[in-house]
Amino acid sequence: MGESFAYKGAMGQGLESLLSNVAAGSTNWPEVYECLKTPLWYAAARGARQVGVRDREAIAEAVQQAFTEFMALDFSTVTSPDSIARKIAYRRGLDRGIAARRRWNREAAMEALPADLLRAEPGQPPGYAESAEEEFFSVEELRRQEERWR
């Protein structure tokens, strides 16, 4: 009775028998995923929360990566598949959380910069390419600009 409700039944006999079938050559990955999806979700969410991220998309991506990594394991050498699945999901949750945090910081930094300081390439004068539409020049226009720059 000391087990958590999320792992009761799913992590016991059911998962081990499913994985023994996988090791024998039977591919019943949807059933294995059904057994693992709740614990993987909780572990990935805990990892993402560790870095302050509560993004459902990042957590879903972490669960997908964790299950893909879990499928590649050699189950004849794994002693506790449920434990290793949760560890993988926690680590992928950390990874996705850190990536989401970096993306948010980069977007916030770009929004904080004034538009005249944004440059298309290093070394270009401010305001060189105001938008993607203005970057298209005709061949004659490019020749005239080259002559003017020389």
Q: Are 22 and 75 in contact (CB under 8 A)?
A: yes
The one-letter amino acid at 3: E
Residue with tokens 């090791």: 23
User: Which of 89, 32, 101, 90 lies closest to 64 in space, CA to CA?
Assistant: 89
Side-chain-facing half-sphere of 109: CA atoms under 13 Å: 6
User: How many C-beta neighbours within 10 Å does residue 101 have?
Assistant: 16
Mean pLDDT, 10 residues at a time, the chain of 150 residues: 41 68 72 90 94 90 93 83 92 92 82 63 54 55 76
